[in-house]
């Protein structure tokens, strides 16, 4: 997704903008650019490709202590230099960068062209700068406010004008913007990662706000120019957490730190005394939680597979009917909101447009919506009626790994909490607590055997297709395993339930079409083994994730990776790991850009 960086202060702006853009690379992009102001003019340099390409075109000593930068994830118009941001008006004195989609850009563009404006790009964003130029009369903040009243759609935008040196003006509606308050300098960016190297003092902008900032101060107002008091927050994590810390990729680092991240998701949230979970921030009393008769969990992508797993936990442990639904579908389905239904949204970034807009639609209908997020201070986290942070730490790799297992952990604790206030007995809760506390160690046992998965990946690098199968609470894990593989290795993969395989997908099976099966030693093992044999009968290669000691499976499958024993219902916290590692080594073996796979964005802030 597009990334925005703005700076004004006493230091040369170009190096700070370039470094900020480099830290936003993880969001996914295909071109980038900067605009730096100095001596009554703006210098705009923008290039397709990676930041290092842009950097090679920026003079080392480019003067100017204020400016803006952008990484573009193309939505309108192909990937080329002209479509990259920043966009300039005809005079070259005004430039803007934009994240989001302007839904009504075509009529606006037609009107501007009829007035003689010449467009250089195919983007929707360029409309903004020309409209703003037509409204500018020496007050940039005023021009921004007038401009955005004409826009329909989403924007996080920042602009500079050569005649207002040292000033940045930003506006937010649907795409994130955060102010960084430095010592004699200010930052304005899409997310904290761009500025964490310089300041931890941040201010989160809300939709409908306009911010005008100089090196020493910032002013936040609404579109009617009413001042808005803003709180300065302190970022809880530091720069080291967004470094690779010796790993070759962010994904390898984030896979490897899951024992710690799962432990952090549990820390302070287990009551040994009550054999239950403790979750602050739900903003619901026990009585209100007891009245919950249904749970609906909305999200996207990997977070949707976490939602499916969570729904299974809730129904199985707490006996509460629960479903997982695509946020993008629910938003436009005119959902029925019943008082005894509790909604959750899951979002690692807390900025996913599909999920954010679905939450807003539900709240508009009177729903109570809790957010389970990783990014502290993110829009979904701030707009939800309460919720839980998963404390996974910054997740930089586009493919989500530690956020997935930390989200599951939070829902295990929530399900335990709901179960223990209903029918679950103390001893069952105690067994669950004890089993949960052993999970981080078991995760490390699995990670210590990564080389087995590397060997398996090497053996199957020929595969152009993969089928992933699982049953029960591991059915969503099959779907997640397929997503992990396809999104980073570009090998086509699909997941389905082991039982469903017989109703169609088995037609795909041949010696060239391998299957990854998840067969823990649980109550569905025998059924899974029947499906395994059906695959083998058709000469399909089969890799199995099985429970240690289950030697019978090794006699049937082509390859087996064993995971430690745990409670049946907790197996997803363990089966997720080999699925991630296998996909990782397949992608490495195919020389893919593991951290920034093609076409993908870390946080999809457009619909």
Check binding of 258 to ligand AGP (CB under 6 A). no
Q: List the one residue from 603, 605, 606, 607 that touches ligand AGP (CB under 6 A).
A: 603
Tokens of 169: 């003006």
Using CB under 6 A as the binding rule, whether residue 99 contacts ligand AGP is answered as no
Q: What is the DSSP letter of 77?
A: S
Contacts of 158 (CB under 8 A, 6+ apart): 4, 6, 68, 96, 97, 168, 169, 170, 177, 188
> Does residue 574 contact residue 565 with C-beta atoms inside 8 Å?
no
Catalytic residue among 46, 200, 442, 602: 602
Cα dist. 492→108, 110, 505 in Å? 41, 41, 14
379 in contact with ligand AGP (CB under 6 A) = no
d(CA 446, CA 448): 5
Task: Tell me the angle at which helices 572-589 and 426-447 cross, rounded to the nearest 10 degrees.
Answer: 20
Q: Is 390 in the site for ligand AGP (CB under 6 A)?
A: no
Instruction: Specify the stretch interacting with ligand AGP by CB under 6 A; choose among 196-204, 393-401, 419-427, 470-478.
Output: 393-401
Task: For the chain, count helices (H), then strands (E).
Answer: 19, 26
Give the residue with the Cβ less far from ligand AGP, 218 or 466.
466
Closer Cβ to ligand AGP, 367 or 403, answer by number: 403
557 vs 573 by CB, closer to ligand AGP: 573
449-488 mask for ligand AGP (x: CB under 6 A)?
A: --------------------------------------x-
Among 65, 249, 347, 379, binds ligand AGP (CB under 6 A): 347
| Cα distance between residue 548 and residue 553, in whole Å | 10
Minimal distance, residue 485 CB to ligand AGP, in Å: 11
Question: Applying CB under 6 A, does 378 fall inside the site for ligand AGP?
Answer: no
- Rule CB under 6 A: is residue 352 a binding residue for ligand AGP? yes
**Which residue of 51, 181, 399, 529 would you call a contact of ligand AGP, by CB under 6 A?**
399
Binding-residue total with ligand AGP (CB under 6 A): 15
Nearer to ligand AGP, 345 or 529 (CB): 345
> Residue 373 or residue 570: which is nearer to ligand AGP going by CB?
373
**Rounded CA separation 323/307 (Å):** 8
H or E, element range at 204:
strand 201-204
Cα gap 363→370, rounded to integer Å: 10
Sign of CA dihedral 120, 122, 123, 127: positive
Rule CB under 6 A: choose which of 43, 88, 348, 489 binds ligand AGP: 348
In the sheet with 94-99, reading across from the earlier edge strand, the strands are: 87-88, 94-99, 155-161, 168-173, 209-213, 218-221
Segment interacting with ligand AGP, rule: CB under 6 A, options 4-12, 86-94, 185-193, 342-350: 342-350
Only one of the segments 16-24, 237-245, 256-264, 295-303 lies at the binding site for ligand AGP (rule: CB under 6 A); that segment is 295-303
Tell me the C-alpha distance between 604 and 431, whole Å. 39
Residues 6+ apart with CB under 8 A from 562: 546, 547, 548, 549, 550
In terms of CB distance, is 62 or 594 closer to ligand AGP?
A: 594
Cβ at position 384, least distance to ligand AGP in Å: 13
18, 54 Cβ separation under 8 angstroms: yes
Closest contact distance (angstroms) between CB of 348 and ligand AGP is: 4
Identify whether 373 is a catalytic site residue. Answer: no
**Burial 550-579, CB ≥16 within 10 A → b, else e:** beebeeebbbbbbbbbbbbbbbbbbbbbbb
- Told to judge if 2 belongs to the known catalytic residues of this protein, a careful annotator would answer yes
Interface positions, 178-237, toward ligand AGP (CB under 6 A): none
579 contacts ligand AGP (rule: CB under 6 A): no
> Can residue 384 be called a binding residue for ligand AGP (CB under 6 A)?
no
Q: What is the dihedral of CA 218, 222, 224, 228, to 10 degrees?
A: -70
596 binds ligand AGP (CB under 6 A): no
Residues that bind ligand AGP (CB under 6 A): 300-303, 347-349, 352, 355, 398-400, 487, 603-604
Mind telling me the catalytic residues? 2, 602
């Amino acid at each position: 997704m597009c990334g925005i960086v703005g700076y004004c202060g006493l230091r040369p702006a170009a190096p700070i903008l370039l470094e900020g853009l480099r830290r936003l690379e993880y969001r996914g992009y295909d071109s980038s650019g900067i605009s730096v102001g100095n001596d009554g003019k703006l210098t705009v340099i923008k290039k397709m490709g990676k930041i290092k390409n842009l950097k090679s075109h920026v003079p080392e000593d480019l003067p100017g202590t204020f400016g803006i930068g952008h990484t573009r994830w193309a939505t309108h118009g192909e990937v080329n230099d002209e479509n990259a941001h920043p966009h300039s008006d005809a005079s070259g004195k005004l430039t803007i960068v934009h994240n989001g989609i302007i839904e009504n850009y075509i009529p606006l563009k037609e009107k501007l062209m009829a007035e003689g404006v010449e467009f250089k790009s195919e983007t929707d964003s360029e409309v903004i700068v020309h409209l703003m130029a037509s409204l500018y009369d020496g007050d940039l903040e005023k021009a921004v406010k007038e401009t955005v009243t004409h826009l329909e759609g989403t924007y996080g935008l920042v602009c500079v004008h050569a005649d207002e040196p040292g000033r940045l003006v930003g506006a937010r509606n649907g795409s994130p913007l955060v102010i960084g308050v430095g010592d004699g300098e200010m930052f304005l960016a899409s997310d904290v990662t761009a500025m964490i190297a310089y300041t931890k003092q941040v201010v989160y902008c809300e939709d409908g706000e306009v911010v005008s900032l100089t090196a020493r101060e910032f002013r936040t107002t609404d579109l009617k120019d009413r001042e808005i008091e803003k709180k300065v927050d302190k970022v809880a994590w530091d720069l080291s957490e967004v470094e690779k810390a010796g790993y070759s990729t962010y994904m390898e680092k984030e896979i490897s730190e899951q024992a710690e991240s799962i432990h952090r998701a549990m820390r302070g949230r287990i009551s040994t005394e009550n054999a239950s979970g403790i979750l602050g921030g739900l903003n619901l009393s026990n009585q209100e939680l007891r009245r919950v008769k249904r749970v609906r969990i909305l999200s996207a992508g990997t977070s949707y597979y976490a939602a499916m797993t969570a729904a299974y936990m809730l129904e199985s442990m707490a006996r509460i009917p629960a479903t997982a639904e695509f946020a993008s579908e629910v938003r436009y389905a005119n959902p029925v909101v019943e008082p005894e239904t509790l909604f959750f949204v899951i979002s690692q970034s807390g900025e996913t447009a599909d999920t954010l807009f679905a939450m807003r639609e539900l709240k508009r209908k009177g729903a109570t919506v809790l957010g389970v997020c990783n990014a502290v201070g993110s829009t979904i986290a701030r707009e939800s009626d309460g919720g839980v942070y998963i404390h996974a730490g910054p997740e930089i790799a586009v493919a989500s790994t530690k956020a997935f297992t930390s989200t599951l952990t939070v829902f295990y604790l929530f399900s335990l909490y709901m179960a223990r206030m209903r029918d679950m007995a103390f001893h069952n809760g105690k067994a669950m607590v004890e089993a949960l506390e052993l999970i981080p160690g078991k995760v490390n046992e699995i990670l210590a055997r990564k080389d087995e998965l590397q060997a398996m990946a090497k053996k199957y690098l020929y595969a152009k297709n993969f089928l992933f199968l699982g049953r029960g609470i591991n059915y969503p894990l099959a779907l997640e395993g397929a997503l992990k593989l396809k999104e980073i290795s570009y090998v086509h993969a699909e997941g389905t339930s082991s039982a469903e395989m017989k109703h169609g997908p088995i037609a795909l099976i041949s010696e060239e079409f391998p299957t990854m099966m998840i067969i823990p030693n649980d109550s569905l093992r025998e059924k899974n083994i029947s499906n395994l044999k059906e695959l083998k009968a058709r000469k399909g290669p089969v890799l199995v994730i099985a429970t240690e000691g289950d030697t019978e499976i090794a006699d049937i499958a082509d390859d087996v990776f064993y995971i430690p024993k745990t409670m049946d219902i907790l197996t997803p916290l363990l089966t997720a790991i080999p699925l991630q590692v296998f996909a990782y080594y397949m992608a490495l073996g195919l020389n893919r850009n593991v951290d920034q796979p093609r076409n993908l964005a870390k946080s999809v802030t457009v619909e």
